[in-house]
Structure 1
Amino acid sequence: MDTITHTLFGLSLYGSIQKDKVDRRTKMAYLFTSVGASQIPDSDVISQLWDTEGLYQMWHRGITHSVFLTPIWALLFYVLCMFFFKVKDKRLFFLGWLAVVIHNTSDLFNAWGTGYLEPFSQTRITFGTIPIIDFVFWVIIGSAYFLSKKTTILKKPYYFRAAWFLIVLHVSLQSVQGYYYYQKYNQDYEQIALSAGFIPTTFQVITKQEGIVTIFQDGIFQRKEIQYVLESKENADLDYLFSKSPKAKTLYQWSPFVVIIDDDKQLGIYDPRFYRNGQSFLYEYITY
């Protein structure tokens, strides 16, 4: 998910906590942990500063997003709260753990995916059933905030807990639909990937069969429609490309499948899940 959504998740966690009987320092520790732990896996962006081998595509959302690292992040925030706020509350550990698990797990559902099982598996797990920026989350959390402003402090957490219920329901419904479309196309194509649209219930279904990549638009309330048909040059010399462009090799490992370009001008690959208006923003190539 995007940074704003992860921040909103953290604020919603903080809002769902009953805080009428805790002091100011403890409240600050809860807020710091809720928001900070909701963001900490994305600290891997700084790895761009020392990436000299074109590996950032695998590093981002890699080990920092591993489910096995989540208790380590939680322990970090527990220790930071003891140091900065002088608060020693075991609930801070579990709050931080929950925040990181929500971050890492929510990232599984969009097309970018995560290294959820690193270091035991380098596979990027992605379901593609939620867009990277999902405005439904924003509306749900925003509504909970405005409704909670009109009630007593004792009742405020219930609005945010209701918001979490609706968020889980939204993700579940989208995922059930995504599973349906995956199975629907799986019978006719060798490879399939999903990319959820910004409008709920709409999906791009990206398929590959014998070097032909077809991108469909499909959904409950719309007819199946072919958006793009792309030809992949499967016989191109990718070893030569990888020797000249390490980023291309990383992209090849990272993507579920790629489209290969090989003409008189360039040799390259791109991820068709991010193909819009004649190009993909995940594209690596060399020129002849």
Structure 2
Amino acid sequence: MDSLTQIVLGAAVGEAVLGKKVGNRAMFYGAIAGTIPDLDIIANFYTDTVTALEIHRGFTHSVVFSVIFGPLFGWLVSRYERYKSFKGWALLFFWAFLTHPILDAHTTWGTQLLWPLDLRLAFKTIFVIDPLYTLPLLVFLILTMFQERTSKKRRIYNRTGLFISTAYLALTLVLKWTAYTKFESALAAQNISYNKIDTRPSPLNTILWSANIETETSFLLGSYSFFDTQPISFVAYPKNQHLIKHLKDHEKMQRMIHISKGWYTISERNNQLYFNDLRFGLLSLEPGSDSFVFQFLIEYDSQTNNLQFTELPKRPRDAKKLLSELWQRIKGT
């Protein structure tokens, strides 16, 4: 999830663990702990694109990280804080560290929660920014801050915020299942045979859902809003994997394919090849658009056998255009 959400969640968890003992300082340390797992983005500055993608949401988003570094940070804080309970601070950091990847596991990218196992949990029920999850948590956290440390209201406000956000997260599982059945029915009605289907919410909401459907030669992309009155339609994108036949066995290409879980196409423009990760959809909802959120220029030097992937930059006007299109699409067809 986005940094603000993880800060707010960490603060609420910190309050739940130690708020009665140390007041708002529990929120302060919880907020810090909520941001620490995302420091893995530092890898972007020191490694190549493929390695950075593999590191992101890996070890720092695991149970192992929480078990090791929760007590370590708890010990450090207990050394200089007036409240000297090592156990109390260790529990605060442990739970703040652990709830961070658990929440991230509900997004499309997912987390390597069970590191070192090569398994990335991605339930794909919530977008990385979702106001309906964050705002109730934030509002009740603010109300909590202005209550006395031992006040009963303080605990009620914080628990209410956590309950509402968690209930919403549970609701997204139901919404995903409902959308999934709609896509299945549409495929059956159109006599489309497929190998597998993958669904996820569109940005900032859980009303509009997207689906990737794999067939033998292409991927079908479709969308469904709970306000739709027209049948679901699908747009086909050829896999074009023959374009990288000469690179298919390259170690970096294999790693990129593994990262994308096989949900990728290859496109060609101006004699240049691009690797398109389908899991995060398009930057435009216009039919036939090939502007993918995660699109990488493939650069290969046959002399050195060096293969590089360069992510194409996203422009502010792309996001503005997408938000406008999303609003129209959410209202249904």
The alignment's TM-score, normalised by the length of structure 2, stands at 0.74
Partner AA of 2:62 in structure 1: S
Deviates more, 1:79-88 or 1:202-211: 79-88
CA contact (8 A) 2:125 2:172 kept: yes
| 1:157, distance to aligned residue in structure 2 (A) | 1.9
Alignment partners' CA distance in 1, 2:131 and 2:249: 38
Partner AA of 2:266 in structure 1: I
In the alignment, structure 1 residue 84 sits paired with structure 2 residue 80: yes
Alignment partners' CA distance in 2, 1:62 and 1:149: 33
Structure 2 gaps, min length 5? 301-333
Structure 2 matches for 1:1-288, cutoff 5 A?
1-16=1-16, 19=19, 22=21, 26-27=22-23, 30-52=26-48, 54-85=50-81, 87-121=84-118, 123-145=119-141, 147-148=143-144, 154=151, 155-182=153-180, 185=183, 188-197=193-202, 198-223=204-229, 225-226=232-233, 228-240=235-247, 243=250, 246=252, 248-256=253-261, 257-262=263-268, 265-274=271-280, 275-277=282-284, 278=289, 279-286=291-298
CA contact (8 A) 1:268 1:285 kept: yes
Cα displacement string for residues 25-62 of structure 1 (whole angstroms, at most 9, x for unaligned residues): x4475234311221221111112232147311010111
Cα displacement string for residues 232-278 of structure 1 (whole angstroms, at most 9, x for unaligned residues): 113333552674x93x5433211131112256712332112322223
Root mean square deviation, CA, Å: 2.8
Alignment partners' CA distance in 2, 1:176 and 1:283: 31
Alignment partners' CA distance in 2, 1:30 and 1:161: 15
| 1:100, distance to aligned residue in structure 2 (A) | 1.4
CA 1:134 to 1:242, structure 2 compared with 1: closer, same or farther past 3 Å?
A: farther
CA contact (8 A) 1:259 1:271 kept: yes
CA contact (8 A) 1:192 1:208 kept: yes
| 1:184, distance to aligned residue in structure 2 (A) | 5.3
Partner AA of 1:12 in structure 2: A
CA contact (8 A) 2:124 2:201 kept: yes
| Aligned length, in residue pairs | 281
Alignment partners' CA distance in 2, 1:150 and 1:35: 17
| 1:195, distance to aligned residue in structure 2 (A) | 2.2
CA 1:84 to 1:211, structure 2 compared with 1: closer, same or farther past 3 Å?
A: farther
Percent identity over paired residues: 21
CA 1:99 to 1:272, structure 2 compared with 1: closer, same or farther past 3 Å?
A: same
Alignment partners' CA distance in 1, 2:145 and 2:120: 40
Partner AA of 2:273 in structure 1: L
CA contact (8 A) 1:57 1:250 kept: no
Partner AA of 2:39 in structure 1: S
| 1:88, distance to aligned residue in structure 2 (A) | 2.6
Cα displacement string for residues 165-220 of structure 1 (whole angstroms, at most 9, x for unaligned residues): 11111111111221343455467531322221222332111212113222221243
Alignment partners' CA distance in 2, 1:191 and 1:159: 43
CA contact (8 A) 1:37 1:73 kept: no
Alignment partners' CA distance in 2, 1:117 and 1:3: 22
CA 1:150 to 1:57, structure 2 compared with 1: closer, same or farther past 3 Å?
A: closer
Which gives a bigger RCO, structure 1 or 2 (Cα 8 Å, sep 6+)? 1
Secondary structure of the 1:126 match is coil
| 1:96, distance to aligned residue in structure 2 (A) | 1.4
Secondary structure of the 2:4 match is helix
Partner AA of 2:194 in structure 1: Y
CA contact (8 A) 1:33 1:77 kept: no
CA contact (8 A) 2:18 2:92 kept: no
